[in-house]
Structure 1
């Protein structure tokens, strides 16, 4: 069969699960083509998939907006910056993507797929549906966070909203109202620009909603390949479980390359001392105080650190030890599967959580944004990690967390048992069976033409 895999946004957290699906599907001999923005080219080309790149969609100053969001204090972030981020980043991103959808639809239709697999995110679900409807084939949409909850709607002790959240929401609404009125009165050009962009997005949404209504015969399925089944089993009374999602287990991590012989020698020189892998993704930022706390905690416990990040966080740290090593990039699955590695200090991104559990690595989570606080909550509730609030990150808290993930027999037994359980869920076999069933039963309605 021909599978068209479509990801409309330049976010590796949404793209990587689709790559994992493609890696499983290719085992059955399916012909696969990715349809992605230009920003995905490095990772797609590295995986050697056929692909169609439809242009860059990142807004002007987009990286600056993302960095500001991640660097801001959590209170300012929650109260006002997420609202401003919508106008500075998300709305321009949506416009850039939606303006290229006719091109994407034509390219997918020309490919002539038997099944469309896409990312279920932002305002693009109806667009994904119409892409599949144009080809007369079913569409499977993947929920990227891989969790079973609706974002930030955790029910603890039967209460959906805490008093603190109600206060935050109340204050946020006031600040947003003040900002909107001030912009309308004193920055009319900006106010008009916001209105114009919002109308463009609403117009596109209405257009694709109409197209979806006019083509009701296309089959639509929602899936997730993350920890959702595990969360449902053990945390079902604390989370909201969407009823329309097919829960598949995690898929085997995809590694780009193996560990170099030189790095492998460094790892094997540990002499029985634990190595902690440190990786906070591409956007998370840490203060010099927090970086010093990590180095000091590792030194105090005689723990070796292997740190992966784009920029060297240790360049201003006085180091006389070869037990702390930085690399600009590392093959994460290969590192997590190495026997010398005894834990993972992470930002709690969805892919990182799944890979850590797959390789039975206990986690120390320092969540930053979006689904990461929820993921950290899950690791603690399921007993395979410790979470530290980034606003309360200290050497003492990290020393406690390191001691627990390295020396707690109960935690290590939990992560071993849960790792065996997620592997036994056979996400690989289940996604391959789903593709064969849905794609194989599809009957083409429209033949692909230019």
Structure 2
């Protein structure tokens, strides 16, 4: 795959979420195998991930809002109209603005650290900090490689297309609300939440003032890549016609390397029969209502399957209610290893981009229960690719829930499609393409870039 011996690649991330970090770590693993020297700078909340991959790392401080996890749980469970009228607007301030503000507090420290380290290239996830990473690379005079976390084509789809069918009156009211609610939300907070309104205003000014100063620096080279399922989606869902996304698609990466050993989980799986376990996990940020999770577990048991549940947010009382010989409940599971196991027959998931990609890689049928953001697209894509089903509402009836779980567990068409797509993903050789790409970037030393490429519209200042 080429040699990067003598080259130092530094990964910087101000986002601690697993969905944004795992692909970066997999890229680093490939670069290290090709001889590169690796160093990692991440927030305090990402220490477990950084330590588990074994790279030299340093923590830069916390970034997640104090009530960030709790708020995302509320956001994920808000009904359609509560979401339209309130929670999606709250998310911009209570989560993303605060996260941006907290991240910028560490910018000076990161810059000083990078100057001391010395590096040949920066590897980052663009998300809401692309401007900061671009400035760092410009000052250091090194190329910036940014990796789009999702690796899918979800931005090409309207989120509403993945949900329940709407009535024309509901669609009209929703469009009206989305147009006028931001102004109402601003006035409501200004009058009734004065302290919070002032705090948001102070943070917003801080962010904008910092970013206004960046324009004095000429942007350096920005190389935009993604590793994931976009090529498969483009081929089967869009007829090969979608080439407008700005990221170079390098193909999926082998996710076999996972965080931690998870030996107790794998020991439990080893005592199960092949295709006898349903793996249920909803990530680290949010989860469906407890009652729905209980109903899912109950239906799986009625169908004669065992359940492995990875969910650290559940109370001990909830665990004791279900944990017996047929249900194993853990805070965390080595997901790639679990999905690679022949013991696991179906994956029930929120369908975050990482979970969706790993399900396809290991050829597992899925039942998607999306909660936030791109998860709606990923669940829709999995259903459209013929590898499983999607639950579009938490209010699903018992009969419908039993039918959809039975279908995912028994439909051999899902199994065949999942295995076929797994073979296609592995044939893309994304790991080799990543190393070759970085080799080319470092060989050319290209530092020319257009400012509009460095700061696309979706990443403009708040």
265 and 52 in structure 1: CA distance in 2 versus 1, 3 angstrom threshold: closer
SS at match of 1:150: helix
| 1:62 match | 68
Matched, 1:431 2:434: yes
State yes or no: 1:78 paired with 2:84: yes
Q: Structure 1 pair 162/100, CA: closer, same or farther in 2 (3 Å)?
A: farther
How many angstroms apart in 2 are the aligned matches of 1:372 and 1:444? 35
2:346 is equivalent to residue 340 of structure 1: no
User: Partner residue of 1:448?
Assistant: none
Alignment of 1:200 with 2:206, yes or no, is yes
CA RMSD, Structure 1 to Structure 2 (Å): 2.7
Superposed, which structure 2 residues align to 1:245-264 within 5 Å? 245-253=247-255, 254-258=257-261, 260=263, 263-264=265-266
- 2-structure distance, mates of 1:282, 1:121: 18
Verify: 1:136 aligned to 2:122, yes or no: no
Change beyond 3 A, Cα 1:377–1:33: same
Distance 1:238 1:79 in 2: 37
TM-score (norm 1): 0.89
Q: Give the drift of 1:43.
A: 1.4
Q: Superposed, which structure 2 residues align to 1:244-283 within 5 Å?
A: 244-253=246-255, 254-258=257-261, 260=263, 263-264=265-266, 266-271=268-273, 274-283=276-285
Question: Could you tell me how far apart the structure 1 residues matched to 2:123 and 2:233 are?
Answer: 24
| Structure 1 residues 21-420: aligned runs within 5 Å | 21-122=27-128, 124-150=129-155, 153=158, 165=171, 167-208=173-214, 210-211=215-216, 214-216=217-219, 218-236=220-238, 241-253=243-255, 254-258=257-261, 260=263, 263-264=265-266, 266-271=268-273, 274-312=276-314, 315-316=317-318, 318-319=321-322, 321-420=324-423
Gaps of 5+ in 2: 1-6, 449-462
Cα separation, partners in 2 of 1:152 and 1:75, compared to 1, 3 Å: farther
Q: Distance in 1 between matches of 2:108 and 2:84?
A: 36
Which whole-Å CA distance do the structure 2 matches of 1:47 and 1:401 have between them? 37
What are the superposed Cα offsets for residues 329-369 of structure 1, whole Å, 9 maximum, x if unpaired?
Answer: 21111111111110101010111111111111111000000
Calculate the TM-score normalised by the size of structure 2: 0.87
1:105/1:177 CA distance change after superposition, 3 Å: same
CA distance in 1, matches of 2:383, 2:53: 33
| Greater displacement, 390-399 / 199-208 | 390-399
Q: Which moved more, 1:171-180 or 1:10-19?
A: 171-180
User: 1:161-220: CA deviations, max 9, x gaps?
Assistant: 995555323123433333322333344444333332222222222222x04xx424x221
Which residues of structure 1 form unaligned runs of 5+?
Answer: 446-450
Task: Give the paired residue count.
Answer: 436
Residue range with higher mean Cα deviation, 432-441 or 228-237: 228-237
The 2-side partners of 1:270 and 1:24 are apart by: 33
Task: Report SS of the residue matched to 1:5.
Answer: strand
> How has the CA–CA distance of structure 1 residues 273 and 444 changed in structure 2, closer, same or farther, with 3 Å as cutoff?
closer
Name the CA shift for 1:46/1:5 in 2 (closer, same or farther; >3 Å). same
